[in-house]
Every structure is written in structure tokens, then in C-alpha cells.
Homo-oligomer: A and B are copies of this chain.
């Protein structure tokens, strides 16, 4: 009876769903689910298997099942998956925050390795997946796809999802792995853009070395311009806030300006057909290096937490969304006619994702280890396994790209396309849930840390000014300027905590680049754009602080 009543109520709501009131209903359910995800995610925090994204995904799937039952098998989602929503509103805050909170030192020390993984690795993976798909799909019974579709599949499934990476790897526990896998995820966005353009503009049948050169040139151009645009916007915000001293009148303007200019950098990159992800990532890095130090103390705390929160909400939103969308009945109708084919396609894709990533991770890690002088700083085999595993997840980006490729202009009616969509959903769910669930235990198994250290370090970034005890709040403000600043940095300074990394840094060839950069930064950039140690002259003497000015 109750179910009947709810069912009829739901039918009424469904009928309304084209009207305004229907969208209000959907939004209510969605916002309530987001709240539930946050509370449940909090309760499961101590659980060693789960993470926030899997919680959201599972809640999304459960809601989808519930809606499917209540609506009598007619519908299972309350919001239609929209690429715009994803690429215009949800992705930019996540990537910006990643750049804003990234450990810059780790990122730039491993820059060459990251570039190799992101550019060459993605190409290798794409080639393997394309080749494998082209060889096997005909045998399975998928014949209507063209060579451009195969290439698109290669591009879609070769890209690591940086949002998923953020969920399974911890910047404080495994800084090297985090910077490698996440950095790769950011860089390969540029590769994907170049790949997609290449697929559309080049004649596939005439592959010769000049096209390879053209491709390489395109990648370099795209990477450089996207990065420069991000750095430029970040510097502009630093200059404006420093020069006009915006914080004099209100904190609100500083925060609003940082938020809007970061978003502007992303939109400008999209406008110029550049890689918005790369741009907003480097804008985040620049802002944390210069702008963040020019704003008032309360703005620092506010921006640090507010950007993290916006990113957190966007991430939860995406996984909830993907989970709810996964059960969309329309998509499964075609695929359900031939379950064996669907299963085969999904398995082949999963296998190729595993193989494609294995091929380049171990190969490129080997090359990277050869070029390094000392063996100590190389990537160990165990670390390679984690890099391979942690980058296997495919997420909302893959889904958005698959929708774009296989549902354009009513193209879905074709059976092969419908199967591609459902297979993509399967790969996304399996890789996120299964691979995701196993990443934390895998890391703990392969890289055991001294007990007691992990939980402490894990919370340290989030809780720097975060405890209810007054000591934790008072200390950063009472200690000398240099210390308090280091504690409040968006990314945690690791000096004095891991002295070995400084020694490592000294022995690498990147050190001379670093020294040159520091000199340039101190003598030219900081006087113009502010940054640590220049604007807040009142706190501590500049000399005190210069000893700590490494990579920040």
C-alpha cells in the first residue's frame, strides 16, 4: 500500500518533471542526497576500504534502483547527465583546488617524469587500446564502428581520471606517487585534446613521420600556451591584489577576485580551444605561490578551506551523478538484448586498460630510473605497481567523452553505440569501485609505514587551523612569523620533517634549475607580484624567512 502510494506520488512527480516544479523536486532530492553523502562519508572515514567517491557512487546507484522500482521501471535518474554541467561547473573547481593545494616542490622535481607519463604514456596506452579494440571487436560481433571510433575509444580509455586519483592517493602519505599519478592526469588532458583534434583533422590512412612531428609540435604548443595562460592569470590576480591592496576594504573582494579570475582562466582556455584543465591547474599553482600571500590573514584561511570545500562538493556531486546515471534504463535496453556481447566488450576494454597502462608505466619508469644519477631516488618496483594500479580508474571524464562520441545527433539508435555507452558505464563502475576499493589496502600492503604515523599525517593538512582546542589556533599566530606562515600554506611545507628529501633534492640535476628559479623569483618576480615574505613585512624579518624560501 505504502509503496503503491509512493509510486503514484512518484508518477505525479514524473509527470511534473518537464515543468519547473519537477526540476525543483529533482534538485531537492539531489541536494538532500549530497548532504547524506557528506554525513555517511564522515561516518565511514575511519573505514580502511571505503572512500568518499565510492560512498557517493554507491548511494547514487541505490537511489537509482529505488527510483527505478518506484517508477515501475520507467526511469532511474532525476537529472539528465549534461556535459556542460560537468565541464563548465564541476571540473574547474576540482582541478583549480588541486593546483592550489599541490606540493609544488614534489611536482616540479618530478616534472620530466610527469611529462613523460602524461604525454608519451598516454600515447602508448591509446595506441595499445586502439589496436586491441580494432582486433577484437570484429570477432565479438561489433562491426558498425569505424576507425575513428576505435581511435576515440583509445583516447577515452587511455586518460587517467585526476578526480579519482585525488580520492585514492594521499598527498601527505605518498607524496611521490600522488604527484606522479595526479600530475600525469593533468598533463594527459592536453594530450587528449591534441589527440581528439588529430583524429578529426588528420587522414588516418596516411600515417608518416611528418604527422608525428606535427602532432608533437601541436602538443608542445598546446601545453605551453595553456600553461602560460594559467600563469599569466595567476600573476595578474597577484598583481591586482598587491597593487590595489584589495583587502583594505573587505575580505570578500579578495576571495571573490581569486575565485572569479581562476574561473576566467579556465573559460579563456576553453574559448581559445586550449586545455582548460592545464590552465586552471597552473593558475592554481601560481595563485598559491603569489596571490595567496598577498591577501589578508582571514582571506588565507577562507580561500584555503572554501576552495577545498567547493572542490569536495563538486567531486561528491560527480560521483553521485555518475552512480545515479549508471542505471538509466534507456541505455541498457539495447545492450540487454545481447548480454554476452556487452559483457565481452566491457571485459575487453577493462583488460586493455590494464595492459595499456602496464605497458607504459613499467617502461617509462625504467627509462626514468636510468636517467637519474642515484638509485635511491628512483621509482621502486613496488611504487611502479601502485602507479599502475592507482591510475587505472576511469571516471566522469571518460563518461562525458563517451557520451560526446557515441550519442551525438541521435546516433545512439545504433546498437554498437548503445553497447559502447553501457560498456563505458561498466568500466567506470568496475574500475572506480573495485580498483578504488583495493588501492588503499594495496598501498598499505606494498608500502607499509610505521604504525601511528599515518593517521596523524593524514589529518595534518586539513586540521592545521582546524581543531576546537584553542592551542591549535593560538600557536600559529604566536610563534614567529616564518613558522606561522609555513603552517598556514595551502600545501604543507615538508622541510624539517623529511630532511632526506632536501638531501635528495641537492643531488639531482633539477637543483641547479631550482636555484636559478629561486634567484629569479626573489630578485624579479616577488618584488612585482608579492608572494611569501614580501607583503607581510610586519611579521618576522625577511632574512629569517629567506632561509625557508625553497620552491615556495
Contact = CB atoms under 8 A, between A and B. Distances in A.
Interface of A: 20-21, 24-25, 27-28, 31-32, 34-35, 38-39, 41-43, 45, 84, 88, 240, 244, 246-247, 249-253, 255-257, 259-261, 263-264, 267-268, 270-271, 296-299, 301-302, 305-306, 308-309, 312-313, 316, 459, 462-470, 473-474, 477-478, 481, 535-536, 538-539
A12 to B, nearest CB: 13
A81 to B, nearest CB: 16
B264 A538 contact: no
Nearest to A473: B297
B297 A267 contact: no
B42 A251 contact: no
Contacts of A464: 298
30 contacts: A24-B267, A24-B270, A25-B271, A27-B267, A28-B267, A31-B260, A31-B264, A32-B264, A38-B260, A43-B244, A247-B466, A247-B468, A249-B459, A250-B312, A251-B305, A251-B308, A251-B466, A255-B306, A255-B309, A256-B312, A259-B313, A297-B466, A298-B473, A299-B466, A302-B306, A306-B309, A468-B538, A470-B481, A470-B539, A474-B478
User: Which of the listed residues A84, A251, A270 has the most CB atoms from chain B within 10 Å of its own CB?
Assistant: A251
Contacts of A261: 35
A473 B466 contact: no
A491 to B, nearest CB: 16
Contact of A296 (B20, B84, B267, B466): B466
A313 to B, nearest CB: 5
Contacts of A473: 297-298, 477
Contacts of A20: 84
| For the complex of A and B, 10 pairs with smallest distance between CB atoms | A302-B305, A298-B465, A306-B306, A252-B309, A255-B309, A250-B462, A252-B312, A31-B264, A297-B473, A45-B249
B39 A244 contact: yes
Contact of A28 (B31, B264, B459): B264
A540 to B, nearest CB: 9
A260 B535 contact: no
A25 B272 CA distance: 10
Q: Which of A259, A263, A302, A313 has the most CB of B within 10 A?
A: A302
Nearest to A536: B468
A312 B246 CA distance: 14
Nearest to A459: B249
A474 B298 CA distance: 12
A120 B45 CA distance: 52
A469 B296 CA distance: 9
Nearest to A474: B477
B42 A244 contact: yes
Contacts of A39: 240, 244, 246, 257
A313 B261 CA distance: 13
Contacts of A271: 21, 24-25, 28
A539 B471 CA distance: 10
A30 to B, nearest CB: 9
A285 to B, nearest CB: 20
Contacts of A41: 253
Contacts of A462: 249-252
Given A31-B264, A466-B297, A538-B470, A308 B252 contact: yes
B38 A253 contact: yes
Contacts of A34: 260
Contacts of A253: 38, 41-42, 312
